[in-house]
């Protein structure tokens, strides 16, 4: 199972790399996880 997961993860990484290399426009990968955490702390839960 671990080998399969590693192979799948490697394939996903390769797919993303190909996506960025072959895109006809400029693409940026942004991590907004800190923004989400901030909103989760500030916005009261219903």
Number of domains observed in the structure of the chain: 1
Question: Rounded CA gap, 18 and 22, in Å?
Answer: 6
Contact 24, 17 (CB under 8 A): no
Q: For residue 32, what are the domain limits?
A: 2-42
Question: Rounded CA gap, 28 and 8, in Å?
Answer: 23
| pTM recorded for the entire structure | 0.39
Report pLDDT digits (tens) over 1-46: 444 566 777 887 888 888 888 888 887 878 999 999 999 999 877 6
Question: Rounded CA gap, 10 and 8, in Å?
Answer: 5
Residue showing tokens 């895109």? 23
Question: Rounded CA gap, 19 and 31, in Å?
Answer: 17
């Amino acid at each position: 199972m671990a080998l399969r997961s590693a192979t799948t993860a490697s394939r996903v990484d390769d797919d993303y790399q190909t996506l960025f290399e072959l895109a006809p426009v400029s693409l940026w990968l942004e991590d907004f996880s800190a923004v989400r955490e901030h909103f989760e702390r500030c916005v009261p839960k219903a």
